[in-house]
């Protein structure tokens, strides 16, 4: 919130300067321009990640004997998908020396983030020295890939020695995107001190979002390289959250063997285990076995509570601008 207020205050102060600045920019006529650029963003706010596959967003470490396996450390896993790379193309129209509009089309790929992690948790009940016991270690990593449109209003602040600073404010409208969560699970089975089996399971879940709108503000400058060509640089802040709409498990393997698309796989037989519809609340009418055990339908998507992830970040953009 402090960052938003600072940026808004900066934009207001620069707009106030506009009426006080007079130079060669005032003679410019209406014109179209196009920009091509690449950006790198860093996250500006970290929040707790949502539950992943029934696992809380924690980093848990277990230790102890077969009969006394216990949690010895836990920390919350927080972060944002606002860190990553973006490329985009922008069309702009300058309808006065001081004012213009832009529409950017961007592709964004976030850095991969750990959303949950567990080490050496005993998952078999009542172990003894003569019966097999299994320990689970897993890591869930998430990554967002998205296309968005970003309309904005641009305020030009005047040109001096080839440099022309500007500010802009606008909104971000994602038009397509997914959160991909890759989970690696290692099941190690022991009898006494001897390991007798090991299963490495891999799954990929694809979460599709509900429609949302975000906010962006930027401060930049262009530098004239020729009659029509300029280089530009921008410092941009953006902030929005994404709520899940549906989730589907698209890959599931055990020791490299497909277990999702085979007729003998239990996951193939249960539609609700690989499809989720997110809802705002759960009750006796929901398709969820915990809240509606008698009416639960395995042939329909499971209902789970909707969660959200943040994509707030501060980015630096470099690129080229062509003016008609």
Q: Residue 17 is part of a domain; what is its CATH number?
A: 2.40.160.20
Give 66 or 181, the one with higher predicted confidence. 181
**Among 238, 237, 239, 232, CA closest to 156:** 232
* pLDDT reported for residue 165: 97
* pLDDT reported for residue 54: 76
- Domain count for the chain: 1
2 contacts: CB under 8 Å, gap ≥ 6: none
* pLDDT reported for residue 56: 87
Q: What's CA 173's distance to the chain center, in Å?
A: 14
Distance CA 50, CA 56 (A): 7
Residue 133: domain span: 2-323
Percent of the chain topping pLDDT 70: 86
| pLDDT 10s digits, 182-218 | 999 999 988 877 888 999 999 999 999 998 999 999 9
Q: What's CA 14's distance to the chain center, in Å?
A: 32
Q: Mean of the pLDDT values across residues 306-315?
A: 88
Q: Mean of the pLDDT values across residues 163-171?
A: 97
Q: Mean of the pLDDT values across residues 61-67?
A: 80
pTM of the model: 0.83
Residue 161 vs residues 30, 320, 324: alpha-carbon distances, Å: 21, 18, 21
* pLDDT reported for residue 168: 97
Report the SS3 class of residue 10: helix
């Amino acid at each position: 919130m402090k960052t938003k207020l600072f940026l808004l205050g900066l934009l207001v102060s620069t707009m106030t300067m506009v009426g006080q600045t007079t130079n060669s920019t005032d003679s410019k006529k209406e014109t179209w321009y196009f920009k091509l650029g690449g950006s790198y963003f860093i996250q500006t706010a970290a929040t707790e990640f949502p539950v992943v596959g029934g696992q809380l967003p924690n980093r848990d470490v277990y230790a102890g004997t077969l009969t006394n396996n216990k949690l010895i450390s836990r920390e919350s896993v927080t972060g944002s998908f606002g860190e990553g790379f973006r490329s985009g193309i922008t069309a702009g129209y300058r309808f006065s020396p001081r004012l213009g509009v832009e529409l950017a089309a961007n592709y964004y790929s976030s850095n991969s983030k750990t959303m949950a992690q567990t080490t050496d948790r005993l998952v078999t009940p009542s172990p003894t020295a003569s019966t097999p016991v299994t320990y689970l270690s897993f890591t869930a990593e998430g990554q967002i890939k998205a296309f968005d449109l970003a309309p904005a209003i641009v305020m030009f602040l005047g040109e001096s020695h080839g440099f022309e600073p500007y500010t802009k404010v606008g909104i971000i409208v994602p038009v397509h995107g997914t959160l991909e969560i890759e989970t690696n699970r290692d099941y190690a089975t022991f009898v006494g001190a001897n390991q007798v089996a090991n299963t490495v399971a891999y799954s990929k879940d694809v979460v599709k979002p509900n429609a949302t709108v975000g906010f962006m503000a930027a401060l930049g400058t262009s530098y004239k390289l020729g009659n029509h060509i300029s280089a530009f640089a921008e410092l941009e802040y953006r902030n929005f959250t994404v709520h899940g709409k549906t989730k589907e498990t698209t890959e599931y393997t055990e020791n490299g063997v497909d277990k999702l698309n085979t007729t003998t796989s239990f996951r193939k037989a249960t539609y609700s285990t690989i499809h989720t519809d997110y809802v705002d609340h759960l009750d006796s009418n929901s398709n969820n076995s915990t809240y509606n055990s008698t009416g639960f339908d395995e042939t329909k998507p499971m209902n789970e509570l909707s969660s959200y992830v943040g994509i707030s970040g501060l980015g630096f953009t470099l690129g080229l601008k062509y003016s008609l």
